[in-house]
């Protein structure tokens, strides 16, 4: 799941070396934190949050297939 988020984020940003995905286990589910350069946050979030919501949907599907729950935060 972490590789999926990284792949999508790196394909969207101008500087893929700044993309970092941190994984935290909280209350039986996995929380992913996507960190990108400040200039690229708009690209990753998208207009009205559409890109971020699409990434969250992909993550939910992947997590469901693995029998777990996962969330994505973009600080």
The pair of three-digit structure tokens given for residue 40, joined into one six-digit string: 């690229």
Task: Judge contact between 74 and 53, C-beta under 8 A.
Answer: no
Full-model pTM: 0.85
Residues forming beta bridges with residue 22, ordered by sequence position: 33
Helix (H, G, I), strand (E, B) or coil at 32: strand
Q: Which CATH number characterizes residue 68's domain?
A: 3.30.300.20
Please give the pLDDT value at position 63.
92
Q: What is the residue range of 50's domain? A: 2-73
What's the domain count of the chain?
Answer: 1
31: pLDDT strictly greater than 90 = yes
pLDDT, tens digit, 9 for 90 and up, residues 7-28: 999 999 998 999 999 999 988 8
The tens digit of pLDDT for each residue in 44-61 reads: 999 999 999 999 999 999
């Amino acid at each position: 799941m972490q590789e999926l988020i990284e792949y999508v984020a790196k394909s969207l940003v101008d500087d893929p070396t700044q993309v970092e995905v941190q994984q935290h286990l909280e209350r039986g589910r996995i929380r992913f934190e996507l960190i990108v350069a400040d200039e690229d946050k708009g690209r990753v979030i998208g207009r009205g949050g559409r890109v971020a919501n699409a990434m969250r949907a992909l993550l939910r599907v992947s997590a469901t297939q693995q029998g777990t729950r996962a969330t994505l935060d973009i600080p």
